[in-house]
Amino acid sequence: MADTIAWEKVFDRAQERAQKENLPILLFFHNPD
Amino acid sequence: MDAVTYPDKKVIDFVNKNYIPLQVPFDAEPLSKDFNIKWTPSLITLGTDKQEHHRSVGFLDPDAFIAVSLIGIGKYHFDNDRYPTALTYFEKIISDHPQSDNAPEAIFLRGVSQYKKTGSSVPLKKAYESLSSQYPESEWTKKAYPYRLL
């Protein structure tokens, strides 16, 4: 549950930056292994 | 991509200039469910409203990564009716990445953007002519096929 909340917050921060800087977001999903 | 593409200086400079980047594991919920991730690497260009404009799945070398990113940013502007800005990205793919898989789509969308900007159908016909001569086997040539009659 803690992990779920963390990723939402991370995305929210990226979205805030994107709105402030008027840039699109590049979302990379990767397999860290 | 972690070993080859992401450390490439061209890629780093391009991403820092043009995007807010966010790298997450494929199983990072709720994002992986929200974006229906089934395979990695998956690269998604999103608007500030979380709207998806372009998605690429599978390995990309640095040049292919930049071409995919350019089409993503072009479509981000195209979908928001900013045709002159979108055109700059489509033109860059056509001039700098003509061998990329994204070049035919860029020619198609350049024609549509010019049509939207000017109201003239000439760019649509030119898009078909360019596609049929340079990329005859592309799906985008088939999609532009009706424009030959304009």
Instruction: Work out the burial of residue B57: count CB atoms within 10 Å of its CB; fewer than 13 is exposed, 13-18 middle, 19 or more buried.
Output: middle
Q: Is residue B75 within 8 angstroms of chain A, CB to CB?
A: no
Q: Is residue A4 within 8 angstroms of chain B, CB to CB?
A: yes
Using a CB-CB cut-off of 8 Å, the residues of chain B touching A32 are 25
- Give this prediction's pTM: 0.92
Q: What residue ranges do the domains of chain B occupy?
A: 9-149
Of B15, B29, B50, the CB nearest to A26: B15
The model's pLDDT over B38-53, given as tens digits with 9 standing for 90+, comes to 999 999 999 999 999 9
ipTM: 0.90
Q: Which fold has domain B9-149?
A: 1.25.40
pLDDT at A2: 47
pLDDT higher at B5 or B10: B10
At CB < 8 A and 24+ separation, what contacts does B94-101 make?
B97/B63, B97/B66, B97/B67, B97/B70, B98/B134, B100/B63, B100/B64, B100/B67, B100/B68, B101/B64, B101/B67
The pLDDT mean for chain B works out to 95
